[in-house]
Amino acid sequence: MTAVQGTAVDIPTRDGTADAYLVHPGDGVPRPAVLLYMDAFGLRPHLRSMADRLAAAGYTVLVPNVFYRHGRAPVVELPEFIDPAARPKIFESIGPIIRELTSDLAMRDAAAYLDWLAASPFTADGPVALTGYCMGARLAVLTAGTYPDRVAAAAGFHGGRLATETPDSPHLLAEHITAELYFGHADQDQSLPEEQIKRLDEALTAAGVRHRSEVYTGAHHGFTQADTAAYDSAADERHWQALLALLGRTF
């Protein structure tokens, strides 16, 4: 594995400063960029370790704290291991923060993240790739549809609310997407019922978007997050294989 170098960085946005984690191969050579969108639990050691693994595969990876308007990470205090008993109290705090991050605000921030990556000496010229987890999968699809000329590939894993009936649903941007997309859905996931998976696939197919949508049998919402009770090691490794294959085809 390639040695990597990670550091905390600050990204100026129209609404303040977003703290983030940047990691890249230690040789300092510019590499294709990957913008990693966090899950609801936020920027924490496990997400940094995921970014490190991506960087070791040859990418420059940025993980922004998308909740920066509410403070630097960790915005909400978390236990080292998030078990089901801890979730209700955590979501009492996180829930309102998630709801305040509207699609418009998130996409305003996305421009700042993309601009910052484009200016980084560790980033190769050209479009970036995205990967997102839980709510981050939604942000990845929105970003791919809002900034199609800047995104070459996007992946989403155990995503929620990807094809709702609301006017800001990500699937409604399908006609604008030029990136190749990959989705790894959890079949034990109330946040993305079967009808939404079908609606998402139909919208992407109708728009001619290159995509693959797979349902991971037996996996639960959050299956890639090793610091939670939802973690599924087999599904997680499947996610890594699919994500690295997508990046390999793209770059």
Q: What residue ranges define each of the domains in the chain, with the CATH number in brackets?
A: 4-250 (3.40.50.1820)
Tens digit of pLDDT for each residue in 11-59? 999 999 999 999 999 999 999 999 999 999 999 999 999 999 999 999 9
**Structural contact between residues 240 and 53, judged by C-beta atoms closer than 8 angstroms:** yes
**Structural contact between residues 90 and 82, judged by C-beta atoms closer than 8 angstroms:** yes
Q: What are the structure tokens assigned to 249, written together?
A: 């085809």
The confidence score (pLDDT) of residue 212 equals 98
Radius of gyration of the chain from Cα atoms?
Answer: 17
CA distance 177 to 154: 10
Tens digit of pLDDT for each residue in 51-96? 999 999 999 999 999 999 999 999 999 999 999 998 999 999 999 9
150 has a pLDDT exceeding 90: yes
**Structural contact between residues 88 and 234, judged by C-beta atoms closer than 8 angstroms:** no
Average of per-residue pLDDT values in the chain: 97
117 has a pLDDT exceeding 90: yes
Helix axes 233-250, 45-56, angle to 10 degrees: 40
pLDDT band (50, 70, 90) for residue 162: very high
Is-above-0.85 flag for pTM? yes
The arithmetic mean of pLDDT across residues 94-105, rounded, is 97
